[in-house]
Amino acid sequence: MASLDKHYMSLALRLAKDAFGRREVPVGAVLVVEGRICGWGSNRRMNDNQIIGHAEILALETASASLGDWRLMRSTLYVTLEPCIMCTGALLQARVDRVVFGCRDPKAGAMRSLFALGEDPRLNHRIKVDEGVLADECSNILHEFFEKLRS
Protein backbone atom coordinates (compact mmCIF):
# COMPACT_ATOMS: atom_id res chain seq x y z
CA MET A 1 0.00 0.00 0.00
CA ALA A 2 2.81 2.44 0.82
CA SER A 3 4.22 2.50 -2.72
CA LEU A 4 0.75 3.02 -4.21
CA ASP A 5 0.09 5.81 -1.70
CA LYS A 6 3.33 7.52 -2.75
CA HIS A 7 2.45 7.12 -6.42
CA TYR A 8 -0.98 8.72 -6.09
CA MET A 9 0.34 11.44 -3.76
CA SER A 10 3.00 12.31 -6.34
CA LEU A 11 0.17 12.85 -8.84
CA ALA A 12 -1.60 15.08 -6.33
CA LEU A 13 1.67 17.01 -5.94
CA ARG A 14 1.78 17.60 -9.70
CA LEU A 15 -1.69 19.11 -9.45
CA ALA A 16 -0.53 21.27 -6.53
CA LYS A 17 2.34 22.54 -8.72
CA ASP A 18 -0.20 23.45 -11.40
CA ALA A 19 -2.13 25.46 -8.81
CA PHE A 20 1.11 27.17 -7.76
CA GLY A 21 1.64 28.20 -11.38
CA ARG A 22 -1.82 29.81 -11.41
CA ARG A 23 -1.02 31.67 -8.16
CA GLU A 24 -3.43 29.49 -6.20
CA VAL A 25 -2.62 27.95 -2.83
CA PRO A 26 -0.83 24.80 -4.05
CA VAL A 27 -3.09 21.94 -3.06
CA GLY A 28 -3.80 18.97 -5.30
CA ALA A 29 -6.13 16.00 -4.91
CA VAL A 30 -6.64 12.67 -6.69
CA LEU A 31 -9.57 10.35 -6.03
CA VAL A 32 -9.05 6.64 -6.73
CA VAL A 33 -11.80 4.02 -6.87
CA GLU A 34 -10.70 0.40 -6.96
CA GLY A 35 -7.33 1.25 -8.47
CA ARG A 36 -8.67 3.69 -11.09
CA ILE A 37 -8.25 7.47 -10.98
CA CYS A 38 -11.78 8.83 -11.24
CA GLY A 39 -11.39 12.39 -9.99
CA TRP A 40 -8.78 15.08 -9.56
CA GLY A 41 -8.51 18.74 -8.78
CA SER A 42 -6.31 21.55 -7.65
CA ASN A 43 -7.29 24.73 -5.87
CA ARG A 44 -9.20 27.18 -8.09
CA ARG A 45 -10.74 29.58 -5.57
CA MET A 46 -8.93 32.65 -6.85
CA ASN A 47 -9.05 31.84 -10.57
CA ASP A 48 -12.74 30.90 -10.58
CA ASN A 49 -13.80 33.25 -7.76
CA GLN A 50 -15.40 30.23 -6.06
CA ILE A 51 -15.68 29.84 -2.31
CA ILE A 52 -15.79 26.06 -2.66
CA GLY A 53 -12.99 25.85 -5.25
CA HIS A 54 -10.86 23.56 -3.09
CA ALA A 55 -8.92 20.68 -4.66
CA GLU A 56 -10.90 18.07 -2.71
CA ILE A 57 -14.28 19.44 -3.81
CA LEU A 58 -13.17 19.51 -7.44
CA ALA A 59 -11.87 15.93 -7.18
CA LEU A 60 -15.23 14.82 -5.73
CA GLU A 61 -17.12 16.60 -8.51
CA THR A 62 -15.05 15.08 -11.33
CA ALA A 63 -15.27 11.62 -9.75
CA SER A 64 -19.03 11.90 -9.28
CA ALA A 65 -19.47 12.97 -12.91
CA SER A 66 -17.14 10.20 -14.12
CA LEU A 67 -18.95 7.48 -12.16
CA GLY A 68 -22.46 8.88 -12.47
CA ASP A 69 -23.03 8.66 -8.73
CA TRP A 70 -22.56 10.98 -5.75
CA ARG A 71 -21.75 8.00 -3.54
CA LEU A 72 -18.04 7.36 -3.86
CA MET A 73 -17.75 4.21 -1.81
CA ARG A 74 -14.60 2.07 -2.07
CA SER A 75 -12.65 5.24 -2.81
CA THR A 76 -9.49 6.85 -1.50
CA LEU A 77 -8.71 10.55 -1.76
CA TYR A 78 -5.07 11.58 -1.89
CA VAL A 79 -4.57 15.24 -1.04
CA THR A 80 -1.43 17.21 -0.36
CA LEU A 81 -2.86 19.18 2.59
CA GLU A 82 -5.13 18.03 5.41
CA PRO A 83 -8.75 18.78 4.43
CA CYS A 84 -10.64 21.66 6.06
CA ILE A 85 -14.08 21.41 7.69
CA MET A 86 -15.94 22.09 4.42
CA CYS A 87 -14.00 19.46 2.49
CA THR A 88 -14.20 16.89 5.27
CA GLY A 89 -17.96 17.38 5.36
CA ALA A 90 -18.15 16.78 1.61
CA LEU A 91 -15.95 13.69 1.90
CA LEU A 92 -18.24 12.30 4.59
CA GLN A 93 -21.33 13.04 2.49
CA ALA A 94 -19.76 11.31 -0.53
CA ARG A 95 -19.02 8.22 1.60
CA VAL A 96 -15.30 8.25 0.78
CA ASP A 97 -13.66 5.29 2.56
CA ARG A 98 -10.15 6.62 3.08
CA VAL A 99 -8.24 9.89 2.97
CA VAL A 100 -4.48 10.06 2.66
CA PHE A 101 -3.00 13.50 3.16
CA GLY A 102 0.53 14.79 2.93
CA CYS A 103 0.91 17.44 5.61
CA ARG A 104 -1.19 18.79 8.42
CA ASP A 105 -2.95 22.15 8.35
CA PRO A 106 -2.57 23.57 11.87
CA LYS A 107 -4.93 26.48 11.14
CA ALA A 108 -7.81 24.70 9.39
CA GLY A 109 -7.24 20.94 9.38
CA ALA A 110 -10.37 18.98 10.24
CA MET A 111 -9.04 15.41 10.14
CA ARG A 112 -6.23 15.60 12.70
CA SER A 113 -5.02 19.12 13.54
CA LEU A 114 -8.10 20.87 14.93
CA PHE A 115 -10.72 18.13 14.67
CA ALA A 116 -11.01 14.44 13.82
CA LEU A 117 -14.29 14.73 11.93
CA GLY A 118 -13.64 11.81 9.61
CA GLU A 119 -13.47 9.42 12.54
CA ASP A 120 -16.14 10.96 14.77
CA PRO A 121 -18.26 8.07 16.11
CA ARG A 122 -21.34 10.32 16.31
CA LEU A 123 -21.57 10.48 12.52
CA ASN A 124 -23.19 7.85 10.32
CA HIS A 125 -20.05 7.42 8.17
CA ARG A 126 -16.38 7.25 9.08
CA ILE A 127 -13.29 7.78 7.00
CA LYS A 128 -10.02 5.94 7.56
CA VAL A 129 -7.32 8.61 7.72
CA ASP A 130 -3.64 8.19 6.93
CA GLU A 131 -1.23 11.09 7.03
CA GLY A 132 2.34 11.96 6.25
CA VAL A 133 2.74 10.52 2.74
CA LEU A 134 5.37 12.69 1.00
CA ALA A 135 4.89 15.14 3.87
CA ASP A 136 8.10 17.09 3.27
CA GLU A 137 7.34 17.68 -0.41
CA CYS A 138 3.75 18.68 0.38
CA SER A 139 4.86 21.05 3.12
CA ASN A 140 7.72 22.55 1.09
CA ILE A 141 5.54 23.64 -1.82
CA LEU A 142 3.20 25.44 0.59
CA HIS A 143 6.11 27.18 2.36
CA GLU A 144 7.58 28.26 -0.97
CA PHE A 145 4.22 29.62 -2.14
CA PHE A 146 3.63 31.68 0.99
CA GLU A 147 7.22 32.97 1.04
CA LYS A 148 6.77 34.23 -2.53
CA LEU A 149 3.42 35.74 -1.63
CA ARG A 150 4.94 37.69 1.29
CA SER A 151 7.91 39.01 -0.72
Residue pLDDT, tens place only, 33-75 = 999 999 999 999 999 999 999 999 999 999 999 999 999 999 9
- Cα separation, 116 vs 83, whole angstroms: 11
The catalytic residue positions are: 56
pLDDT for the residue 1: 62
pTM surpassing 0.75? yes
* Helix or strand (DSSP H, E) at 79: strand 75-81
Residues 38 and 14: beta-carbon distance below 8 Å: no
pLDDT one digit per residue (tens) for the chain, 151 residues: 699 999 999 999 999 999 999 999 999 999 999 999 999 999 999 999 999 999 999 999 999 999 999 999 999 999 999 999 999 999 999 999 999 999 999 999 999 999 999 999 999 999 999 999 999 999 999 999 999 999 8
Interatomic CA distance for residues 111 and 131, integer angstroms: 9
CA gap 126, 19 in Å, rounded:
29
